[in-house]
């Protein structure tokens, strides 16, 4: 698996350009998969438990559940990582361990596939992290355009 090529292909298929907002990423993912996507913060998840975010691939929608975090950037990275799994179509990987026990509020029917951010050794995990980094870089560029705009006109 050529991870860099896979990630660059995904970036070009998302068609986001060089700079984009987080919301634009979410819209692009929904367009790309043609499925609704929900992002939910769950207070029961916490970073000290080792799980930052999970992806639930349901019959009709994808749900990213993420831990509460003080750091907006940190939280954004959790979510981008899970979005990367959606984009890279990792939801049906039978080797991915499920983590049902952590998610008391999620109905069983949505638990078709759960990815937890634990095994950073696998190619899927590395690819998701690399794609998340590309997405984060685009969001940073967009934020810096906005702040330049504010400097000049604000």
Interacting residues toward Zn ion by CB under 5 A: 117, 125, 128
Cβ atoms of 99 and 54 within 8 Å: the answer is yes
Q: From the CB of 118, what's the least distance to Zn ion, in Å?
A: 8
| Interatomic CA distance for residues 101 and 8, integer angstroms | 35
Closer CB to Zn ion, residue 19 or residue 99?
Answer: 99
The structure tokens listed for 115 are 């990815």
Closer CB to Zn ion, residue 62 or residue 125?
Answer: 125
Closer CB to Zn ion, residue 19 or residue 47?
Answer: 47
Closer CB to Zn ion, residue 28 or residue 53?
Answer: 53
Q: In what order do the strands lie in the sheet with 62-67?
A: 37-42, 62-67, 53-57, 114-116
Task: Tokens 């400097």: give the residue.
Answer: 151
Q: From the CB of 5, what's the least distance to Zn ion, in Å?
A: 19
Q: From the CB of 103, what's the least distance to Zn ion, in Å?
A: 16
Q: From the CB of 153, what's the least distance to Zn ion, in Å?
A: 40
Taking CB positions, which residue lies at the least distance from Zn ion?
Answer: 117
| Interatomic CA distance for residues 63 and 119, integer angstroms | 20
Run of H or E residues at 64: strand 62-67
């Amino acid at each position: 698996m050529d991870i860099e090529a896979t990630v660059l292909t995904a970036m070009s298929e998302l068609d986001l350009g060089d700079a984009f907002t987080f919301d634009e990423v979410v819209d692009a993912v929904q367009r790309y998969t043609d499925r609704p996507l929900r992002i939910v913060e769950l207070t029961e998840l916490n970073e000290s438990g080792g799980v930052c975010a999970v992806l639930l691939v349901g019959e009709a929608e994808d749900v990213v559940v993420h831990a509460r975090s003080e750091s907006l950037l940190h939280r954004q990275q959790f979510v981008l990582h899970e979005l990367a799994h959606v984009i890279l179509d990792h939801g049906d990987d039978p080797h991915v361990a499920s983590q049902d026990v952590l998610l008391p509020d999620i109905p069983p029917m949505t638990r078709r596939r759960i990815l937890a951010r634990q095994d950073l050794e696998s190619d899927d995990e590395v690819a998701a992290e690399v794609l998340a980094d590309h997405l984060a870089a685009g969001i940073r560029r967009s934020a810096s355009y906005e702040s330049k705009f504010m400097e000049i006109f604000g």
